[in-house]
Amino acid sequence: MKKLLAVVITVGLLMSLCGIALAADKPVVGLVMKSLSNEHFKKMEEGVRKWADADGTFELVPVGMNSETDIDTQISAIENFIARKIDVMVLAPADSAGIAPFVKKAIDAGIVVVNFDNKLETAALTANGLPEDFLYVGPNDEKGAYMVAKYMGEKLGKGAKVILLEGSPGADNARQRQEGFLRAVKECELEVLADQTAHWEIEEANTVMTNLLTRFPGVQGVITAADGMALGAVRAVEAAGLGGKVLISGYDNQDQAKAMIRDGKIVCTIDQFGAENAIEAIKIGFRIKNGEKFSGWTETPGKVITIDDLN
């Protein structure tokens, strides 16, 4: 029995070691996301994990931040990937300028880096010795924001009074969304009562919107740069007794946004297909690792979602 037990243990140990060796032979992909308190990134992680498990040719290591302003955690994740000497890193930078030096450090360490979801700032790229046409795989946030705000403008009508709730000022996608909003606002001849950041966060949007409703009780519409901020705006509007009287838009097509559209609490959002965006970035990362050259912008799609899309 002792000999048999020893054989079983030895075989089991060898099988485990073989499994570790096989896992070690697989290339490693680091997926660096922004805040995992944001449903957009939680759904992204879920979708990419499912795809990676089905693919089975590489090891996926997804990481995210505690909040949209937790830049240090994202930097630490990049540093850890550099120390681990992973093969490919796909990165949605929380700060389009501040993350650039760590991208350069990762590339110098031999890691293929693909920027996705939120573009790195051109000036920061060149300041850190990276090309200004550094590859970006992602949606056209200016176009997407324009599409959402245009829909809102058509619903509200010429001269309507609106508030804009923006994302983090350090993020390139926040800047692009602001530009898209303002282009549509001008075209639809809307009156902007306030244009203020809520850093993508639900509670901050609730607080900001509560204060703005006191200042601007005649507001007719709220255009937000993220579904979480739309939820915060809905809470503030309902607390002020204005539920159903102020039109609100979201951005990202999260489950909570679709529920709010069905309930009539927001009128639209936009789907920019976050998981698909990350998967495309990983695929391109492996193509680069295999010798292909990529630069500039690989644009991914977006679609405005309304009640008509959910019926």
CA distances from 205 to 10, 22, 224, 267, 295 (A): 59, 47, 9, 18, 36
Q: Looking at the domain assignment, is residue 305 inside a domain? A: no
CATH number reported for the structural domain that contains residue 101 in this entry: 3.40.50.2300
Cα–Cα distance for residue pair 289/111, rounded to 1 Å: 9
| Residue 163 CB-half CA count within 13 A | 29
Residues 226 and 289 occupy one common structural domain: no
- Given a contact cutoff of 8 angstroms between Cβ atoms, the answer to whether 284 and 254 are in contact is no
239: DSSP letter: H
Residue 11 belongs to domain spanning: 2-138+274-300
265: DSSP letter: S
268: DSSP letter: B
- Given a contact cutoff of 8 angstroms between Cβ atoms, the answer to whether 60 and 51 are in contact is no
| Per-residue confidence band for 69, with pLDDT thresholds at 50, 70 and 90 | confident
Question: What integer pLDDT is reported at residue 109 of this predicted model?
Answer: 98
Q: Looking at the domain assignment, is residue 311 inside a domain? A: no
What average pLDDT does the structure give for the chain? Answer: 92
Q: Is 119 left (phi over 0), alpha (psi -120 to 50) or beta?
A: beta
Q: Residues 80-93: what's their mean pLDDT?
A: 98
Q: Looking at the domain assignment, is residue 251 inside a domain? A: yes
Give every CB contact of residue 175 below 8 A, 6+ residues apart in sequence. Answer: 169
- Residue carrying structure tokens 């909570």: 256
- Assess whether pLDDT exceeds 80 at residue 102: yes
Residues 158 and 107 occupy one common structural domain: no
**How are strands ordered across the β-sheet holding 191-197?**
191-197, 161-166, 221-224, 247-249
Token output for 40 = 């957009």
Closest CA to 124 of 175, 88, 195: 175
Dihedral sign computed on CA atoms, order 58, 59, 60, 63: negative
Q: Looking at the domain assignment, is residue 306 inside a domain? A: no
What share of the chain has pLDDT > 70, as a percent?
A: 92
Residues 72 and 23 occupy one common structural domain: yes
Residues 204 and 258 occupy one common structural domain: yes
Cα–Cα distance for residue pair 298/290, rounded to 1 Å: 18
Strand extents, DSSP E, 88-160: 88-91, 112-116, 136-139
Q: What is the pLDDT of residues 202-254, one digit of tens each?
A: 999 999 999 999 999 999 999 999 999 999 999 999 999 999 999 999 999 99
Residues 117 and 230 occupy one common structural domain: no
Q: What is the pLDDT of residues 255-291, one digit of tens each?
A: 999 999 999 999 999 999 999 999 999 999 999 999 9
Question: What integer pLDDT is reported at residue 9 of this predicted model?
Answer: 31
- Assess whether pLDDT exceeds 50 at residue 41: yes
Q: Is 193 helix (H, G, I), strand (E, B) or coil?
A: strand
Residues 226 and 292 occupy one common structural domain: no
How many structural domains are present in the chain? 2
Dihedral sign computed on CA atoms, order 239, 173, 307, 42: negative
Cα–Cα distance for residue pair 280/160, rounded to 1 Å: 39
Question: What integer pLDDT is reported at residue 68 of this predicted model?
Answer: 79
Q: Residues 35-50: what's their mean pLDDT?
A: 93
* Cβ count near 35 (within 10 Å): 23
Q: Looking at the domain assignment, is residue 48 inside a domain? A: yes
Cα–Cα distance for residue pair 105/128, rounded to 1 Å: 9
Residues 116 and 193 occupy one common structural domain: no
Token output for 256 = 């909570």
